[in-house]
Chain A
Amino acid sequence: MTNLAQMLTDTVAEHGDRTAIKLDDLQLSYDVLDQAVARAAGMLAAQGLGPGDRVGIMLPNVPYFPFVFYGALRLGAVVVPMNPLLKGREVAFHMSDSGAKVLLAWHQFAAAAREGAQEAGAECVLVEPGGFEQRLGAADPVAEIADRQDDHTALILYTSGTTGTPKGAELTHANLRSATQISVDLVDADADGVSFGGLPLFHVFGLTSGLNSAVRVGGCLTLLPRFDPAKAIEVLQRDRVTTFLGVPTMYAAILNDPARASFDPSALELCVSGGAAMPVEVLRAFEDEFGCKVLEGYGLSETTAIASFNRPDRERKAGSIGIPVDGMEMKVVDADGAEVAQGEVGEIVLRGPVVMKGYWNRPEATAEAFDEGGFFRTGDLATVDEDGYFTIVDRKKEMIIRGGFNVYPREIEEVLYEHPAVREAAVVGVPHESLGEEVAAAVALKDDADGATVEDLRDFVKQRVAAYKYPRLVWLVDELPKGPTGKILKREIEPPS
């Protein structure tokens, strides 16, 4: 009963003939989705997957994603979602750290997936249109839902924070169910709603607010595997999307696309933005243009993507991340854990039903992440105003948000240090018009660097990390700016003009 997969079975009983998933011409009803999920579960069971086993899913927003996601959950397995753009060594890390034995990967990214799975000693199953349907057809359907407790892990999401290597945030069935309910209540979703499925489902924001929310109420999710503003406008119009879910860069791209002139936004009821702070001028322009409220929210992988939100029924404050969602205790505290006075800056700490269980196999990191009162330390610095609205002002953790994706400088610096010519490296975010921030690196070479160029360094990183992470801008310096005892001064690093 507590398995999240039960949600799908309940919805199928009530809304079986309604459309669940759309991808252009393809329309799948909840009945069909259920059958596909049953066969995916059967296929995974035949691979030896059972309750508690981890399975990697490395797919873009295609209908196969919900098949294998709910199929794995139905067996009681733990899903490890991965960005399809990850490189072999990154895939290997996710697989071996989580102990996943099976990887389901999109055929277009077969090389990195196979390489990573092999290195981790896991099996790689390619998901390819046609071939995969045959595999599903050959599997025995599984209707039975494995018994899971509320605190059993459903999802392991990798996030880096300040460490060089990512940690897996363990989200439970209860976490996912709570986050889904909060998301449904927030936008008042129902079976008549159509949500925009352009946010990646391997990311917890898209998974919760997009897929799980639609499945919860029997609504429709219309998928867009690769975001393009003109295509997005076409989908919004064609499917009469009622709820738009996006990151700020998507809003800006739509706003700046010529196709918007012919867009009839009358179906659009509500827009939700997360992942990064939205420039206030973009928010205002979007609302003016399409006559539709944009609600900004805030959350982390560790809080199932959701923590605070502006509400449709209350004043919406531009630039603010709103007020805590139902059931969430949210405070701003000083270094000693005491709540700061109104208007003062402190760290956001959170406690509530959507806060993760801990970091997979990392008891020390887990212990450090929570304070004595069981509040999760976010590393985000914020203020609270007189109405209880929170505004992010800075971050304790080092992070670049590039087009809604988090890039951790530490991780990229470690890759740069693997290059034999690099003596010092600092990865920083530089302002970027459409992406918000772009990844950049200042590098000092060793004396015997042997003529390494910035192109060499950029390519070196590009080959080793997902495309959204590598520094587009690399420049050489004699040495990084340093303080008197040799600590580098990141704030003083500026790209050459």
Chain B
Amino acid sequence: MAGRRVSLPGDREVVLRPIGPEDSAALQAAFERLSPESRYRRFFTSVSELAEGDVRYLTDVDHHDHEALVALAGDGGDLVGVARFVRTGPAEAEPAIVVADDWQGCGLGTVLIDALADRAREEGIEVFRASVLAENPEAIRLLTRLGDVSRRADGREVELEIDLRPVQEAAGRLRSMLRALASGTQPGLAMLHRLTWRAPRTELGGPQRNVIVAAYDAGTPPGAAVAAAAELARALGAGIELVGVRAPAFEGGSELLSALQATSQQLLARGLEVGAHLRRGDPVASLVDVAAEQHARLIVVAATDRHGPARLLAGDEPYAVARHAPCDVLLVRGAAVA
């Protein structure tokens, strides 16, 4: 079966391909080379041998409800890793992964789990439900990077539920828009005008309205997200909804409110249709909620806004917005482009 070559750090190379019954001997040999510790982490006990039936079960898979990918060492062809999932519900599967002891820590686990997640999505799997030993932080890290995760501690095991659903594929035009905006050039804005639809917001069909939601960072001048959203709104003839969020424990929201109102006034003065929302609680949830309520076509967030005294979104939060948003999300640089 044809495989895909993958380079790993340290001049190592593996070939990735789906498992087949012809891999029985290689799987058996790989199992025998595994240390008791690795066996324990894979099977939750240090199984001493795989029975014939076990090997058949693990290699003779239907590639739909049960898929396994093997990694073969680029040089000798030894089997050095296996990642598999077994369907446990219509859109749910249990993953398992094992990497040969002398191949651990070189990124092979990441390569395998990513490839497995891709195969799972192709087979209609939306959720991985994995039991991992609580004392196996490497496995927890591997799985956690696949998507939104909820975990439940259960004695020596941790049950992870990983949402594999892809982030809504950004349309080509949005990618172009992103590039244009990132470069901050006039041709970029011009291209944006050409590439994007410019329907007045009242004439919009479909579920989305011509509204842009912008994350509001307190401070003067307004944050990068608001500046970029204002530019876009003008170019697209869209309305703009500003969302300011105060921390749950933070009592005095009046300063934020007046700053929000001041910015709204400025934008109104520039001929834009503006709404302002002051929310309390989680910034990610607030942005997503307003976007849903307003049927917005786009959310604009800034990566790291050094203008505002308080950053609305930090670290991975813009990414979290993208995962939950009902529409596309534009992530702009931390400096105002206007």
Contact residues of A with B, CB < 8 Å? 161-164, 335, 345-347, 368, 379, 381, 394-398, 410, 413-414, 417, 422-426, 446-447, 479-480, 483-488, 490-491
- Find the residue from A396, A447, A479 having the highest chain B CB count within 10 A: A396
Please report the C-alpha to C-alpha distance between residue A450 and residue B49 in the assembled complex, in whole angstroms. Answer: 16
Q: Quick check: B44 and A487 within 8 Å, CB to CB?
A: yes
Decide if A164 touches B36 in the complex (CB within 8 Å).
yes
Which residues of B sit under 8 angstroms from A381, Cβ to Cβ? 153
Do B86 and A417 touch across chains, with their CB atoms under 8 A apart? no
Q: Are A424 and B45 in contact (CB under 8 A)?
A: yes
Tell which of B133-141, B162-170, B183-191, B210-218 binds the partner.
Answer: B133-141
Considering only CB atoms, which chain B residue lies closest to A336 in the complex?
B151
Identify which of A345, A381, A486, A490 gathers the most chain B CB atoms within 10 Å of its CB.
A486
- Closest A residue by C-beta to B53: A479
Within the complex, what minimum Cβ distance (angstroms) separates B149 from chain A?
10
Closest chain-A Cβ to B150's Cβ sits at a distance in Å of: 10
Residue contact A368 to B96, C-beta cutoff 8 Å: no
Contact of B153 among A161, A335, A485 (CB under 8 A): A335
* The one of B47, B131, B133, B155 that contacts A424, using a Cβ cutoff of 8 Å: B47
Sample of 5 A–B contacts (CB below 8 Å): A162-B135, A417-B46, A484-B94, A486-B54, A491-B155
Contacting pair B45 A396 (CB below 8 A) = no
A486's partner among B48, B58, B155 (CB-CB below 8 A) is: B58
Residue in contact with B156 in the complex, picked from A162, A163, A446, CB distance below 8 Å: A162
Q: Are B155 and A485 in contact (CB under 8 A)?
A: no
Chain B residues near A417: list those with CB within 8 A.
Answer: 36, 46, 48
Which of A395, A480, A484 is B45 in contact with, Cβ under 8 Å? Answer: A480
Count of chain A to chain B residue pairs whose CB atoms are closer than 8 Å in the complex? 88
User: Does B51 belong to the interface (CB within 8 Å)?
Assistant: yes
- Tell me which residues across on chain A come within 8 A of B153, comparing CB atoms: 335, 345-347, 381, 394, 396
- Docked complex Cα distance between A186 and B154 (Å): 34
Contact A486–B156 (Cβ < 8 Å): no
CB-based contact B96/A485 at 8 Å: yes
Question: Contact between A483 and B94 (Cβ–Cβ < 8 Å)?
Answer: yes
Please give, as numbers and ranges, the residues of chain B lying within 8 Å of A161 by CB-CB distance: 135
> B95 — which chain A residues lie within 8 A by C-beta?
485
Contacting residues, chain A, for B57 (C-beta < 8 A): 486
Bound state CA distance, A487 and B156, in angstroms?
A: 13
B118 CB–A CB distance under 8 Å? no
Confirm or deny: B292 has a beta carbon within 8 angstroms of a beta carbon on chain A.
no
The answer to whether the Cβ of B279 comes within 8 Å of any Cβ in the partner chain is: no
State in angstroms the CA–CA spacing of A447 and B45 once bound together: 19
A-contacting residues, B114-159, CB 8 Å: 131, 133-135, 137, 140, 151, 153-156, 158
Given contacts A335-B153, A484-B88, A487-B43, contact A423 B94 (CB under 8 A): no
Q: Judging by beta carbons under 8 Å apart, are A425 and B45 in contact?
A: yes
Please tell me if B197 contacts chain A, counting CB pairs below 8 Å.
no
Question: Which of A163, A398, A488 is within 8 Å of B43, CB to CB?
Answer: A488
The answer for the CA separation of A381 and B88 in the assembled complex, in Å, is 29
Q: Which residues of A contact B133 (CB under 8 A)?
A: 162
